[in-house]
Amino acid sequence: MTGVIIEYIPYRISDHDAAEFVAAYRRAAESLAAAPECVDYELTRCMEDPEHFVLRITWTSVEAHLEGFRRGPSFRAFFAEIQPYVGAIEEMRHYEPVGVHGSGAATPSLYSWAGGAAALDELCAVFYRAVFADPELAPLFRDMDPGHPHHVARWLGEVFGGPAVYSEARGGHAHMITRHLGRGITEPQRRRWMQLLIDAADEVGLPSDPEFRAAFVGYLEWGTRMAVQLSAPGVEPDLTEPMPTWGWAVAPR
Ligand code: HEM
């Protein structure tokens, strides 16, 4: 999502009022949850200074907050709950992301969850053996570079949050795109490709938990459809597009 802004509202609340303050925000939060202008919100309490609370609200834009939410149907109920605490607000301002963000390693990448480079190499080795034995796909891969399964394993690894070895060794996204140009991949071939890769994932024992499989298949749905589009006659792709990255929960592009 682009253009979101974050509103921070620090409060100073006495220990005596803290429990009721949190309870009021729990009720007020129902209005935030119902507001299409609100992306997410969180109320936190300072551990070193327990009279200090900070409310963070991510809005889709400043206008959405000030003109949409404040004038919309949820605001009255929201304000009724928090109104007793308005005098305890220390600041109420909007902050714009500056592009420094990310997540830490507390949540494993799809790459490490899958088993890293060795697991993806095994996946691709099994997959391309099946591709060669498949009458629908074999003709497309007739002139395939013998290193192809390894290259695709590196590609998948990088997309799934592993080291950037495909970019370093093969030229990144631009190279992958050019390898599909003009191949005229059909919809039945795309489906077959996906099916064989999912079968290979089962055969080599990639994790079968629904969260991993949803992310894995989600990427394949997206990537194979891109491959079909790119392979159509006359396509002039944008070779400057960055490597895609894929995580556990990916918003629609
Ligand atoms: C998520 C979907 C896909 C991914 C991640 C993917 C990945 C790749 C990569 C990384 C390469 C270039 C390897 C290199 O030389 O560095 C490549 C080439 C190729 N891909 Fe795909 N691909 C996808 C979908 C498809 C589909 C659906 C087909 C056809 C049914 C296909 C057919 C080919 C062919 C024929 C090549 C050239 C192989 C050769 O001759 O070396 N790809 N693919």
DSSP of 140-173, one letter per residue? GGTT--TTHHHHHHHHHHHHTTS-SHHHHHH-HH
Q: Is the CB of 94 within 6 Å of ligand 1?
A: no
How far is residue 81's CA from residue 78's CA, in Å, rounded to a whole number? Answer: 6
Within a domain: 181: yes
Q: Using an 8 Å Cβ cutoff, are 192 and 136 in contact?
A: yes
Regarding whether 218 and 175 lie in a shared domain, the answer is yes
Residues annotated as binding site for heme? 151, 175
Q: Does 240 reside within a domain?
A: no
Does 152 sit in the ligand 1 pocket, CB within 6 Å? yes
CA distances from 58 to 8, 21, 29, 43, 119 (A): 9, 20, 13, 12, 38
The minimum-distance atom of ligand 1 relative to the CA of 194 is 27
Q: Is 143 exposed, middle or buried (0-12, 13-18, 19+ CB in 10 A)?
A: exposed
89 and 123 assigned to the same domain: no
**Which CATH number fits the domain that encloses residue 212?**
1.10.490.10
The CATH number assigned to the domain holding 59 equals 3.30.70.100
Give the pLDDT of residue 250.
60
- 146-154: which pairs have CB atoms within 8 A and are 24 or more residues apart? 149/121, 149/124, 149/125, 150/121, 150/124, 152/124, 152/128, 153/117, 153/120, 153/121, 153/123, 153/124, 154/117, 154/120
| CB-based contact 103:249 (threshold 8 Å) | no
**Would residue 91 count as lying in a domain?**
yes
* 114 shares a domain with 225: yes
Closest CA to 41 of 51, 50, 33: 33
Does some domain include residue 244? no
Annotated binding residues, written as ranges, equal 151, 175
Question: How many C-beta atoms lie closer than 10 Å to residue 19's C-beta?
Answer: 10
Exposure string of 34-48, with b = 16+ CB inside 10 Å and e = fewer, is ebebbbebebeeeee
Substitution candidate for ligand 1 out of 168, 179, 216 with most atoms within 8 A of CB: 179
pLDDT at 150: 98
Does residue 225 sit in the same domain as residue 129? Answer: yes
- Local mean pLDDT, 10-residue blocks, the chain (253 residues): 85 98 98 96 98 98 96 95 97 94 85 97 98 96 94 98 95 95 97 98 97 96 97 94 86 47
The reply to whether 114 and 227 lie within a common domain is yes
Examine the domain organization and report whether 140 and 175 are in the same domain: yes
Domain range for 163? 110-231
* Of 131, 158, 177, 180, best ligand 1 pocket probe by most atoms within 8 Å of the beta carbon: 180
pLDDT at 1: 42
Positive or negative, the CA dihedral 179, 181, 184, 190 is: positive
d(CA 251, CA 249): 7
144 and 59 in one domain?
Answer: no
Q: Which pLDDT does position 102 carry in this prediction?
A: 78
Q: Residue 216 class from Cβ within 10 Å (0-12 exposed, 13-18 middle, 19+ buried)?
A: buried
Residue 242, in any domain of the structure: no
Q: How far is the CA of 88 from the centre of ligand 1 (A)?
A: 59
Give the C-alpha distances (Å, rounded to integers) separating 245 from 37, 123, 191, 216.
Answer: 27, 19, 22, 12
Q: Name the domain count of the chain.
A: 2
Report the atom number in ligand 1 closest to the C-alpha of 183: 35
